[in-house]
Structure 1
Amino acid sequence: MSERDDDQREFDIKWADGAEHKEPSARARMLAARWKENPPAPQPFRADPDPVKPRRSSWTSTAVVLGCVAAVIVLLGYVNFRAPY
């Protein structure tokens, strides 16, 4: 590709961006036609589709993590205690 082709391409992009009327995309045209016949129901902003199930208590998660850490410490101490020097 020569430098002249690059200049011509850039000119075409500037010409296209400067257009007064821009045609909507195919999806926008499809939705506009569909909504003209059957408009969508109003939705609250960022509607939650399903109610959230209650989570376990944060204390339960904390107890599980601390229990695992304690078990690893005890296991490492036991292995270290049994290892011959």
Structure 2
Amino acid sequence: MSERDDEQREFDLKWADGAEHKEPSARARMLAARWKDNPPGPVPFRADPGPVRSGRRSSWVSTAVVLGSVAAIIVLLGYINFRAPY
């Protein structure tokens, strides 16, 4: 890209930022139209997420599987290195 293109882009950004009227985004317009007839109810600042149990195994089981896999790989690599003739 040339320096002239950079200057032109910078000019365009300054011109756009200095606009007196800025149109809201499509999402803002959609929400305003939806909420005009049916406004949303009050929502607490931080809602209580509740328990997060989705039928997954507990974290200690996952940790044991990962550590067991790493140990098995280390033993396998050590065995291969031990048997390799040099």
Matched letter for residue 27 of structure 1? R
Structure 1 residue 49 displacement after superposition:
4.7
The answer as to 2:19 corresponding to 1:2 is no
For 1:78, the equivalent position in structure 2 comes to none
For 1:44-83, list aligned pairs within 5 A: 44-50=44-50
* Bigger Cα Rg: 1
Matched letter for residue 32 of structure 2? A
Unaligned runs of 5+ in 1: 54-85
CA RMSD in angstroms, aligned pairs only: 1.9
Write the distance in 1 (CA, Å) between the matches of 2:6 and 2:44. Answer: 48
* Displaced runs of 4 or more, over 3 A: none
TM-score of the aligned structures, taking structure 1 as reference length:
0.52
Number of aligned residues:
52
TM-score of the aligned structures, taking structure 2 as reference length:
0.52
The answer as to 2:25 corresponding to 1:20 is no
Corresponding residue SS for 2:16 = helix
Unaligned runs of 5+ in 2: 53-86
For 1:33, the equivalent position in structure 2 comes to 33
Write the distance in 1 (CA, Å) between the matches of 2:35 and 2:22. Answer: 21
